[in-house]
Amino acid sequence: MADALKDKIADVFDEPACGTNVSKSEQQRKKGCAKPLTPGAAAGGCAFDGAKIVLQPIVDVAHLVHAPLACEGNGWDNRGAASSGSERYRTGFTTDMSELDIVMGHGERKLFRAIREVIEAEAPPAVFVYATCVPALIGDDIDAVCRAATEKFGTPCIPVNAPGFVGSKNLGNKLAGEAMLDHVIGTLEPETLTPYDINIVGDYNLSGELWQVKPLLDKLGIRILGSLAADARYKQVAYMHRAKVTMMVCSKALINVARKLEERHGVPWFEGSFYGISDTSASLREMCRILVEQGADAELLDRCEALIADEEAAVWARLEGFRARVEGRRVLLYTGGHKSWSVVAALQELGMEVIGTSVRKATEEDKARVTEIMGDDKHMFDNMAPKDMYRLLKDAGADVLMSGGRSQFVALKARMPWVDVNQEKHEPYAGYMGMVDLLRAIDRAVNNPMWEELRAPAPWETPLTETRTLPPLSGECPVTGIAGTGRAVSLVPPLPPSGAALAAPVEVAGFTSSTTDFEDC
Amino acid sequence: MAKLTHPKRALSTMPLKSSAPLGAALAYLGIDRAIPLFHGSQGCTAFAMVHLVRHFKEAVPLQTTAMNEVSTILGGADQIEEAIENLRKKSAPEFIGIASTALTETRGEDVPGDLRLILQRREDFADTKVVYASTPDFDGALQDGWAKAVEAIVSDLVPRVTERDVDLRQVTLLAGAHLTPGDIDELTRLIRSFGLEPLVLPDISGSLDGHVSDDWSGATQGGTPVARIPEAARSAFTLAIGESMRKAAQIIEDRAMVPYRVFQSVTGLKPVDALVRTLMALSGVADPPPSVKRDRARLVDAALDAHFHTGGVRVALGADPDLLFSLSTALTSMGAEIVAAVTTSQHSPLFDRMPCDEVVLGDLGDLRRGAEAGAAQILLTHSHGRHLSEALHLPLMRVGFPIFDRIGAQDVCRVGYRGSRAFLYEFANIMQAQHHRATPEDFGAAPIPEEFDHVPHIARH
Ligand code: SF4
């Protein structure tokens, strides 16, 4: 690994703004947050994946992946970040390195040519060049290629140096943030500035979530100046240093960006969430408070309170409509981070019973909050093996599973309603209106009449009580040529005299089920 | 007769191919109680898994040796051993199929050698069959990875025999990567209707057909039983579907003297006739069952109805070589014209026989250019073709892998008499749905002057 990359990784692992990190010893910190992976029992994306997730929502940039086919070929256009502008970000660009490129060491040259071709074809505001394992292994210097290309073509070419094998998705998120800090943020100046300019960091506008919140900001006159990277234009990343406050949404994935924006450019930041009613309100309050601190007119606070009061009243009125349909339903929550606590509170408010929630990636602080909301810690669990979850769901310990995509099929195969609360979900559930959509989704899932039909026994799972006598066969079997016997056949032996014998399935001589269907003779 | 061209470009825009390891994984998934294992970094596995899940809408067992920077440089034998151990502990699979990736191939390890040593040493692994295929991402496409996996399976599990002990009722069906579970079902049905018992390898129709079973397992449920694979040596014949299955068929012949025939296509009247003819000869059934005859008659009728909508249609088609061949020959046999053909792998002898002038080894960007240049009227490729479909305002018929924006991709059947019929209907209906209403300008006539148009009055009160 190049030394520069090593330093970067060491740097992002040393995150003073991260609570978990600060509590570690010097030595632990050096090791980083990554646990060693177990062969045969690993799941999850690589650093490159993580970098791409963070940056791909920048919609007008050409995202060029320097790799053999696997990295981009199996992964392009697989996420639902929505754009209100260019569609370029959805196009997969890759150098598709061949054996020849690798053996002959043509990687860098090919990359340079690919950059030229993409600039000629697309004229993008910038080209983001992603490193991956193979070019990193053979020593391609993408930083140098990007520098040369920027100089030659006059279009910024930004190296995103997060080859997969250096670590997890999470590390990739941070390295992507570093690339923005090093090469993009602060490189352009906005034409106008207002005291109501904010950055949103760590939201990807999946299914348009940001747009569920934007009307609230619009009403308050707050402008999203910088974004990393929900529905972002390249310029919006370059302008981030000029915002008055950074809201870091939900996760700590880009905490390094938020912190360094403060250190380098004096932009204060706070951590907030737009999931759930109370969190949305809290985030708006905090945002306005800091804006006023930074020089915005203090009347903003009053407008903010008025807006929150209106919106909360309106959303609760709408949610009440669902109460009858969801009250008493038992929910099992299986999500990663801590973003769902506020949602949990709302569900409980509506009479739903949260029977369990995973605390897989949660910090101690998060756990304390679950305990507070749920009353005790009986309902927290760490990882659940798919097998156990299947059992739990199958035995109807819950009425609905809310989780990410990975456990989707565990639920469905157990004939259990499932609501997607993952990042990849197709419906946005952010802000106040998002809660209504979420409740609608839960209602739709849980109360679908299909479940009852699906859970009912198959025809052969109930002992046959009625007997039938088939008429004699006529004609002959097309394959064997055997003609009908001319005698009526009784398929089922007469019923046993008493009802008690019904419990044991009746053995029918001559008919066995087979795993393979055989429909032709 | 087409020539294969490879555009001199450094940039690939919108990849058409899926990687070879993914193809190998897919083939391994056609074995019962199996887990495919990627020898590489965990990221490649995550991408491949998402890709498979998006297509099949099923949980897909797929694991990784989780190579990191250090093990990549030192070599991954330990990682493989540990992975096998962990998988056995967790899911007790009967079969583990390993596929290498670009990462481990770039480093250049002797995995077969290492694996042999591991399996010799670890007697406790004996009840799990472990097979390895070399499938670097930078060489070939999904179909090649699939073929290599099947070759690895038959090389390792079909015994060498010196004397034939034939089961005259059994035929081996080597299923190519272009076949869906629905396709395999149709072929087994056809074979069974001649009184023959097919041994399908690999059989994704058992594992990826989309079913709800009564248990949850970390391995495949359904597919070719591992214990049955050696029985391929006893089959009367091997039917290889897809040119890419030739080598595997050849391996079985070399090891067990089972003769084979390769069916490059089983879509369209003539190709299916050839298969049926073979089945008749194998079973000694001179007069095929009525259902088969009736299906043929219905395909003939479908062709009669469909040819109005297929004749002269300009088609742009992007797929792996085997699928490209079978669909393009089926369409040209119905009078369509292939104006753009893009494929993913140079490893196929079929290009000489493709019914078009040129096949481009490229991506969806090439397909777009070809479709525009040839004024195509319809696109046939996988779901990513939706970008082209939107941009060019052309209908898209989804074929191949991945199909993530439709459900039931596993059920689509385009082989045999019935599947060919469905294919013709689907194609013809898409064409029929393309309304083009004639305008004067179409014929060079001046438009009707606008002054003749009625202008609604604003109501006066
Ligand atoms: S682990 Fe490496 S080779 Fe695999 S997808 Fe990630 S970057 Fe690409």
On chain B, the residues whose CB falls within 8 A of the CB of A95 are 10-12
The pLDDT of residue A339 is above 90: no
Pocket test for ligand 1, best of A1, A53, A71 (most atoms within 8 A of CB): A71
Chain segment B317-371, per-residue pLDDT in tens: 999 999 999 999 999 999 999 999 999 999 999 988 999 999 999 999 999 999 9
DSSP string, B100-150: E-HHHHHHT--HHHHHHHHHHH-GGGTTSEEEEE---TTSS-HHHHHHHHH
Alpha carbon distance B268, B265 (integer Å): 8
Cα(A258)–Cα(A271) distance, integer angstroms: 9
Q: What's the gap in Å between A72 CA and the centre of ligand 1?
A: 9
Does A157 have pLDDT greater than 80?
yes
pLDDT of residue A520: 29
For residues A98 and A86, give the distance between their C-alpha atoms in angstroms, rounded to a whole number: 30
Cβ atoms within 10 A of the Cβ of A263, count?
A: 11
Residue A519 reports pLDDT greater than 60: no
Report CB contact under 8 Å: B102, A133: yes
Which residues in chain B are closer than 8 Å to A91, comparing Cβ atoms?
13-14, 387
What is the C-alpha separation between A401 and A414, in angstroms, rounded?
Answer: 11
Interface test with A, best of B32, B42, B342 (most A CBs within 10 A): B42
Q: Taking the alpha carbons of A350, A356, A359, A363 in that order, is the dihedral positive or negative?
A: positive
Report for A267-276, B239-248, B436-445: range of highest mean pLDDT = B239-248
Q: Do A413 and B213 touch (CB under 8 A)?
A: yes
Q: Which residues are CB-contacts of A363 (< 8 A; sequence separation ≥ 6)?
A: A19, A20, A338
pLDDT of residue A425: 67
pLDDT of A340 reads: 65
Are the C-beta atoms of residues B202 and B180 closer than 8 Å to each other? no
What band does A17 get if pLDDT is binned at 50, 70 and 90? low
The answer to whether residue B316 scores a pLDDT higher than 50 is yes
Whether residue B402 has a cis bond before it, omega within 30° of 0: yes
Residues of B in contact with A67 (CB under 8 A): 102
pLDDT at A404: 76
Q: What is the mean pLDDT of residues A446-473?
A: 76
Q: Answer with the residue of higher pLDDT: B440 or A339.
A: B440
Mean pLDDT of A419-437: 83
ipTM of the complex: 0.86
* Contact between A73 and B18 using a beta-carbon 8 Å cutoff: yes
Cβ partners under 8 Å of residue B47, min gap 6: A45, A49, A70, A71, A74, A75
* The pLDDT value given to residue B373: 96
Model confidence pLDDT, tens digit, residues B254-295? 999 999 999 999 999 999 999 999 999 999 999 999 999 999
Q: What is the mean pLDDT of residues A176-198?
A: 96
pLDDT band at A45 (very low <50, low <70, confident <90, very high): confident
Task: Report, as an integer, the average pLDDT of B207-233.
Answer: 87
The pLDDT value recorded for residue B445 is 84
Q: What is the pLDDT of residues B365-400, one digit of tens each?
A: 999 999 999 999 999 999 999 999 999 999 999 999
Q: Which pLDDT band holds residue A475 (cuts at 50, 70, 90)?
A: low
Average pLDDT over residues A445-453: 87
Q: What local confidence, expressed as pLDDT, does residue A60 receive?
A: 95
Interface touch B102/A68, C-beta < 8 Å: yes
**Residue % of chain A over a pLDDT of 70:** 80
Residues with CB under 6 A from ligand 1: A 46, 48-49, 67, 70-71, 132-133, 163-165; B 41, 43-44, 47, 102-103
Cβ-based neighbours of A332, under 8 Å, separated by 6 or more: A354, A355, A356, A357, A392, A393, A397, A398, A400, A401, A402, A403
Chain B residue numbers touching A75 (CB-CB < 8 A): 47, 50-51
Neighbouring CB atoms inside 10 A of A106's CB total 18
For residue A333, the model assigns a pLDDT of: 83
Query: CA B214, CA A415: separation in Å to the nearest integer?
Result: 10
Sign, CA dihedral A289-A295-A297-A298, equals positive
Amino acid making up residue B164: R
Best mutation site among A102, A132, A137, A161 for ligand 1 pocket (most ligand atoms within 8 Å of CB): A132
- Tell me how long chain B is: 461
Q: What is the pLDDT of residue B75?
A: 80
A130: CA distance to ligand 1 center in Å? 11
* Percent of chain B predicted with pLDDT > 70: 99
- Residue contact B18–A479, C-beta within 8 A: no
Which range among A77-91, A179-193, A457-471 has the greatest average pLDDT?
A179-193
> B91 C-alpha vs ligand 1 centroid, how far in Å?
26
Best of B19, B39, B42, B44 to mutate for ligand 1, by most ligand atoms within 8 A of CB?
A: B44
| B24-70 pLDDT tens trace | 999 999 999 999 999 998 888 888 988 898 899 888 889 999 888 77
What is the model's pLDDT at position A502? 44
**N- to C-terminal Cα separation, chain A:** 64
CA of B377 vs chain A CAs: smallest distance (Å): 23
Indicate the pLDDT class of residue A473, thresholds 50, 70 and 90. low
pLDDT at B72: 78
Q: Is residue B403's pLDDT more than 90? A: yes
Quick one: pLDDT band at residue A506, thresholds 50, 70, 90?
very low
Contact residues on chain B for A391, CB-CB shorter than 8 A: 216
Which residue of A lies nearest to B69 if distances are taken between CA atoms? A165
Q: Given the CA of residue A163, which atom of ligand 1 is nearest to it?
A: 7
What is the residue with the minimal CA distance to atom 4 of ligand 1?
B44
Q: What is the dihedral of CA A134, A139, A140, A145, to 10 degrees?
A: 150
Given the DSSP bridges, would you call strands A127-130 and A62-65 parallel, antiparallel or unpaired? parallel
Distance in angstroms (rounded) separating the CA atoms of residues B23 and B449: 60
Q: Which of B10, B67, B363 lies at the smallest CB-CB distance from A110?
A: B10
Q: Quick check: A493 pLDDT over 60? A: no
Question: Residue with the nearest Cα to atom 8 of ligand 1?
Answer: A71
| Single-letter residue type at A130 | Y
Per-residue pLDDT tens over the stretch B124-182: 999 999 999 999 988 889 999 999 999 999 999 999 999 989 999 999 999 999 999 99
Q: Using CB atoms, which residue from A47, A72, A102 is nearest to B106?
A: A102
Q: What is the mean pLDDT of residues A9-18?
A: 75
3-state secondary structure of B155: helix
CA separation, residue B106 to residues A98, A137, A168, A461 (Å): 11, 8, 21, 55
Mean pLDDT of B10-15: 91
Give the pairing type, strands A330-334 and A400-403: parallel
- Interface contact A40-B82, CB threshold 8 A: yes
DSSP B242-292: SGGGHHHHHHHHHHH---EEEES---SHHHHHHHHHHHHHHHT-SS--HHH
Q: Under an 8 A CB cutoff, do B216 and A95 touch?
A: no
Residue A509 pLDDT exceeds 80: no
CA angle B306, B308, B312 (to 5 degrees): 110
* Residue range A57-103, pLDDT digits in tens: 999 999 999 999 888 888 888 788 889 989 999 999 999 998 888 88
Tens digit of each residue's pLDDT (9 = 90 or more) over B110-140: 899 999 999 999 999 999 999 999 999 888 8
Q: Which of B61, B44, B50, B52 is closest to A424 using CA atoms? A: B50
| A interface test, pick of B6, B37, B38, B41 with most A CB neighbours within 10 Å | B41
- Which of A110, A165, A454, A480 would you mutate first to test chain B, the one with the most B CBs within 10 A? A165
C-alpha angle B442-B447-B449 in degrees, rounded to nearest 5? 170
Distance from the CA of A391 to the center of ligand 1, in angstroms? Answer: 34
β-pair type (A489-490, A469-470): antiparallel
Stretch among A153-167, A482-496, B257-271 having the lowest mean pLDDT: A482-496
Query: Best interface-test mutation with A: which of B47, B191, B224 has the largest number of A CBs within 10 A?
Result: B47
> What does the pLDDT read at residue A501?
42
Please list every residue in chain A whose beta carbon sits closer than 8 Å to the beta carbon of residue B75.
none
Write down the residue that tokens 């897909």 correspond to: B60
The mean per-residue pLDDT over the stretch B1-23 comes to 89
Average per-residue pLDDT in chain A? 82
Cα of B78 vs centre of ligand 1, distance in Å, is 20
Would you call B62 helix, strand, or coil by DSSP? coil
Distance CA B339, CA A128 (A): 34
Check CB contact under 8 Å for B47 and A138.
no
Ranking A387-401, B52-66, B178-192 by mean pLDDT, the lowest is: A387-401
Yes or no, beta carbons of B87 and A114 under 8 Å apart: no
As a whole number of angstroms, the distance between CA A137 and CA B101 comes to: 13
A42 and B85 in contact by Cβ < 8 A? no
The answer to whether residue A407 scores a pLDDT higher than 90 is no
Alpha-carbon distance of B5 to B14, in angstroms, equals 18
**Residue of chain A whose alpha carbon sits nearest to that of B9:** A114
Task: Give the pair of three-digit tokens for residue B33.
Answer: 């109680």
B contacts of A93 (beta carbons < 8 Å):
11-13
Do residue B47 and residue A45 have CB atoms under 8 angstroms apart? yes
The mean pLDDT of A169-192, rounded to a whole number, is 94
pLDDT given at position A505: 41
Residue B82 Cα, gap to closest chain A Cα (Å): 6
- CB atoms under 10 Å from CB of A129, counted, come to 27
Of the two residues A361 and B412, the one the predictor is more confident about is B412
Report pTM.
Answer: 0.87
Q: Given an 8 Å threshold on Cβ–Cβ distance, is B387 in contact with A111?
A: no
- DSSP reduced 3-state for A198: strand
Query: Tens of pLDDT along A278-332?
Result: 889 999 999 999 999 999 999 999 999 999 999 999 999 999 999 999 999 988 8
The predicted model gives A128-134 an average pLDDT of 95
